[in-house]
Each structure stands twice: as C-alpha cells, then as structure tokens.
Amino acid sequence: GESVGLHLPTLSVQEGDNSIINCAYSNSASDYFIWYKQESGKGPQFIIDIRSNMDKRQGQRVTVLLNKTVKHLSLQIAATQPGDSAVYFCAETLTGGGNKLTFGTGTQLKVEL
Amino acid sequence: GAGVSQSPSNKVTEKGKDVELRCDPISGHTALYWYRQSLGQGLEFLIYFQGNSAPDKSGLPSDRFSAERTGGSVSTLTIQRTQQEDSAVYLCASSPRGDSHAETQYFGPGTRLLVL
C-alpha cells in the first residue's frame, strides 16, 4: 500500500547551518509531493511542492529534491534560523488517488543557537 | 486575506457526548478537507468535499463520524458518542478548485478535542 515515512524523527542543527530533512515513499504512482511546516499549536503551513516530472525545485531558502528511482524526497533549508524550528511533514498524492494527502509522521527540527 | 478558520480552538467533552467542529474555508475555495492528527502522529485523511460532487468519505473511521458542507462554504464535522480514542487535533484544509490531485491544500489552526 501507499506510505510516506521519514528517516529521522529529530534533527538538531546549529543556527546558520544547512538542514536536510529526508522522506521516503513507497508508491511509484505518487506524483505530487508537498512539504509542510508545523509549529507547536498551529496547523501545517505550506512550504514547497514538487511534481514527479521534476527533480528539483527551489524556493526562498528551501530546496526540494526528488529521486524517483529510489523513491526519496528531501527538503533542504539553507542558513537555518531559530524560526525554522518546527515539525516538518512530507505528504503525497497520486494520480487517480483522489485529492487526499498521505502524510508521514514528521521530523522535529531543532535549531541550536 | 483571511485563511482557513476553525472553531472552537479547544474542546473538552465527556465520553459518550456528541461534538460539532466547524471549518470556514478560504473564501472562493471550492474544495474542503478534514484531517485528524493524533498525538505524535502524522495527519490522517477523513473526508473531502469538492463543489457539488458527492464527498469522498473513505477516511472516516466509523459511522460515528459525519460531515456536512452547507452552501458550498462552511463545513461541520460531527462526532457522535465520543470515545477517548477520538481525542486528537482535527484539521481542516481548503484548496481553490479541488479538481486536481496536484493542488496545494491550505490548513487551518485545528480544533484540539479531548474526550475524558
């Protein structure tokens, strides 16, 4: 069945360093992926998305990389700031699977000063 | 502009009681979604509305859960005869059209439900 999982439950980085959050998915039919950021007590906030016809997409300080061969997704955050501390979720949808997002369990990013 | 809003922000109820959770989507958004987030877990899809189409109820965990969307805007998620395992954060999201699986869903702040 389809599943989205995260390699690391907690990631600690120093302020100013780059962060890389990884995500694996199992359904080769998945073709749309989203990263969300969730701060404590708040709803998920959209960060960046990517479709399966792309390998890389960049936003402001964030880059998403997609490796369809190994079914792996990563979120890179440049010059990590204290405000980046949150739980990060990857999510997927697939063609013909409706609009329901399937989420992983999340990675807690902690930024150390 | 205003984002997705949900009410109440917190709800404490006793086991066996019914609860209603409300969602106001972003104005003009056609599609509306409900998800549940249990403690320390990811988000679990519950139900999806898109325009006048029949809702996708495939994620509802039991017949105690139901949802309505009146007038194509506001939605209410109802849980009857609440159980302790229903305790979770209930999140609502909306998207502009809902006619594509590759459309960003924007989330509200959630309702934190605690069943005693």
The pLDDT of residue A6 is 41
pLDDT at residue B25, as a whole number: 95
Q: What pLDDT band is residue B1 in, cutting at 50, 70 and 90?
A: low
Q: B56 to chain A nearest CA, in Å? A: 8
Give A1-60 pLDDT, tens digit per residue: 334 554 448 999 999 999 999 999 888 888 899 999 999 889 999 999 999 999 999 999
Kindly report the length of chain A: 113
Taking alpha carbons only, the member of B4, B6, B1 closest to residue B77 is: B6
Amino acid found at A84: D
Q: Give pLDDT tens digits for B6-51.
A: 999 999 999 999 999 999 999 989 999 999 998 766 789 999 998 8
The tens digit of pLDDT for each residue in B72-85 reads: 799 999 999 999 99
CA–CA distance, A21 with A77 (Å, rounded to integer):
8
Q: Exposed, middle or buried: residue A28 (CB in 10 Å: 0-12, 13-18, 19+)?
A: exposed
C-alpha span between A36 and B43 (Å, rounded): 11
User: Mean per-residue pLDDT for A86-110?
Assistant: 86
Q: Which chain A residues are within 8 Å of B109, Cβ to Cβ? A: 41-43
- All residues of chain A having their beta carbon less than 8 Å from the beta carbon of residue B93 are 43
Q: Closest Cα partner for B39 from A6, A87, A25, A37? A: A87
